[in-house]
Chain A
Amino acid sequence: MADLEQFRSETRSWLEANCPEEMRQPVHDEKDVYWGGRNASFKSEAQKQWFEACVEKGYTVPAWPKEYGGGGLSAAEAKILREEMGRINARPPLSSFGIWMLGPALLKFGTEEQKKHYLTEIARGEIRWCQGYSEPGSGSDLVSMQTFGEDAGDHWVVNGQKIWTSYADKADWIFCLVRTDKENKYQGISFLLFDMESEGVSTRPIKLISGNSPFCETFMDDVKVPKDQIVGEVNRGWDVAKYLLGHEREMISATGGGDRATSLGAAMNRQGELDPVLRAEMALFDVDALAFTAMSEKFMDELKAGKGHPAQPNTMKYAGTELNKKRHELIMAAGGSRSLEWDSEETDGGKPARSWLRTKANSIEGGTSEIMLNVVAKRILELPGA
């Protein structure tokens, strides 16, 4: 315990010295989030400074082993770092699907060589990754996917189409589910990695109801993928995918609290006194949100201690995303006609409305709420025939 207290005070002074004031402000727009990658540019000197300080310390991925560019922190130390960063509202130095999704899968399923190579790139923000899972005909029924990788000796030749590929137009590499056996549904999928600059890869952004285009369609036309760019065994990619989906659900569920410690009602009330019934709704929402914050903390603590039900991420994802949708409904209601504005300066380009619309995808992407409830019913409650 004394060691942990020491770690806390060291962390505090390290943050004091290395996290610029500008990086302690709430994220304002997309450029405030640094995603890394070949084409990345920093919005400001402070953002660059903060990112580089974290890379040096391994704090872009504090709990990963040091040999892969991580901070090598124990679970307890990582929690302290999170708490201390939270205390000063420090922004994450690097946001990345590599950190949240591919990294954990590589740590579990990757070869030593793959870990050294890919994890280090991720930790240093050198390569930006995207995820190729869904297809036009395979949404909730993901395993029905058709994108096919034909065995051509030392490589596969991949043909097909992915959809809802987040930031595919900005990503450097993709981790992609590809059917490598047409006979076996579950045991006929492989988890492949390839460069988005490979010949035959093209992307097309999808415009959403929010007006933004965070997702793309990704087309593969005779794309050559070398045989060593597979994670796990051939035809066993579904195991990797399921594991990774678990992490994706955790990540999405983590957005549920939004600005976690703060009260939505208090924030909205500062913009103008709330109608009594709306105030009551806010209060009931704050109860739910604060209770969910406790649930997130418990979930993370249990995860680190190897406790808790393995299907619990589904519960988290369901509850967190439904809560986030509710949050934005209330923000719109509190904002009144001002929150309807689509491109005014006062709303920072229609931020309330666009965010509200964006949250509607929370309970669709990464497995719909209905799929989450199916999984909870089957694996946790063990209901029949589910």
Chain B
Amino acid sequence: MALYHDDDQAMLADSASQFMAEEGSIAKQLRHWRDRECKDGFGHALWKQFGEMGFAGMMVAEDDGGLGMGNVEAGIVLEEIGRNLTPSPFLTSSVMAGTALGHASADLKERWMPGLVSGEQVYAVALDEGPKHRPESIATRAERSGNGFRLSGTKDFVVHGASADMIIVAARTSGSDSDENGVTLFAVPRDSGGMSQDAVRLVDSSVATHLKLDGVELDGDAVIGEVDGGREVLNRMLQAGRVGAAAESVGVARGAMDLTVDYLKQRKQFGRLIGEFQALQHRAAHLYSEVEIARAAVLKAQQLLDAGSEQADLMVSVAKAKAGRTAGLAVREGVQMHGGIGMTDEYDIGLYMKRDRALSEFMGDAYYHAGRVAQLSGY
């Protein structure tokens, strides 16, 4: 398989790019909802449009009403989301929950897939416990109770948790916290008794929650996949989420770079366009090089994942780390090269810096994933 988008994918990229620039723009979405102190942090109307466009259910199998596309295609949409800083539940709902639900029972699919495909419903995932992403260890407990389970524990950084109709929770049904086995995934409906959420607005204006599970009673049919054998589905969901976040980071990097390069062609000082100064040219060119490398790494990881390759896991971590570091470079260089106005709320470049910070943390930062690269490589 060639390492570039095929014709269908290039067409999808064109339509996603156009759609997001028109409907998902910073003025129409991010600033609009932020300035209204929206409780969701995103617009439900746009999410329904995602449904109409076929984006919301793009990764859902055709048999389940979706388009049966892969991580490459989802990444195309995510890169445009990143470029436009479009607040959207696409990553948590379509990519992560969608991937997990693909492995769920027919009953669960029937219950949750239609709302996802149409963009009527929003889903979240509750994986982190504490301020850093360490899904190898899961302390949240699910104990047998009658025909079902009783969940207790706390989760953090549950993005869109406050708006979610259903939250996928990873809990431990046996063993100790860091055991590989003994993990089970649950589809927890929003109105479940004993579940409470403390919503917090984040630096990028998105909303996440601290989630408390205080003896939440669930039927046995809320289990996604196998009891005690949830690690495999969890890993698939993590891989899709990580490579998806990486694609969005590449979009953030590109968006920030494009803004900055444009600015270098407009701003004059000392009677010259500042883009004529070699000191800035070299930094911009270095940034371009990094962005190109990150894009390639992300596409490679997406392709390996879609092909079910054994190398996918390593490459997903490479992609997440590289994309995170590159987006970080792009926003820092962006603010610096914009000078004083880069610090103002009026200019968009600062919004890219805020989004990058949240996105880099989501599903593991570059340090976490570089550590994983070392581990998977045997050192």
A positions within 8 Å CB-CB of B:
263, 265-266, 268-269, 274, 279-280, 282-284, 286-288, 290-292, 294-295, 297-299, 301-302, 305, 307, 312, 315, 318-319, 370, 372-374, 376-378, 380-386
Contact = CB atoms under 8 A, between A and B. Distances in A.
Main secondary structure of the interface of B (DSSP, over half): helix
A386 B378 contact: no
Given A295-B296, A295-B297, A287 B369 contact: yes
Contact of B318 (A290, A305, A378): A290
B282 A383 contact: no
B284 A383 contact: yes
A331 B85 CA distance: 40
B68 interface: no
B227 interface: no
A279 B373 CA distance: 11
Interface in B289-334: 289-290, 292-297, 299-301, 314-315, 317-319, 321-322, 325
| Closest CB pairs A-B (n = 7) | A263-B377, A291-B297, A269-B379, A294-B300, A377-B281, A385-B276, A376-B285
A291 B322 contact: yes
B364 to A, nearest CB: 13
A372 to B, nearest CB: 8
Contact of B282 (A297, A370, A385): A370
A265 B377 contact: yes
Given A290-B297, A373-B281, A384 B265 contact: yes
A297 B373 contact: no
Contacts of B369: 287
A373 B371 contact: no
A307 B379 CA distance: 38
B377 A286 contact: yes
Given A291-B322, A302-B4, A283 B371 contact: yes
Q: Which of A286, A301, A302, A382 has the most CB of B within 10 A?
A: A286
A294 B374 contact: no
A318 B283 CA distance: 13
A383 B290 CA distance: 18
A287 B318 contact: yes
A374 B283 CA distance: 10
Contacts of A370: 282
22 contacts: A263-B379, A265-B377, A268-B379, A282-B374, A284-B325, A287-B318, A287-B321, A287-B325, A287-B373, A294-B315, A298-B296, A302-B4, A307-B4, A315-B292, A373-B281, A373-B282, A383-B261, A383-B264, A383-B265, A384-B273, A384-B276, A385-B275
B276 A376 contact: no
Contacts of A381: 261, 281, 284-285, 288
Contacts of B295: 298
A274 B379 contact: yes
B272 to A, nearest CB: 7
Nearest to A281: B370
Contact of B379 (A265, A294, A386): A265
B2 A291 contact: no
Given A315-B292, A381-B285, A297 B3 contact: yes
Nearest to A378: B281
Nearest to B266: A384
Contacts of A307: 4
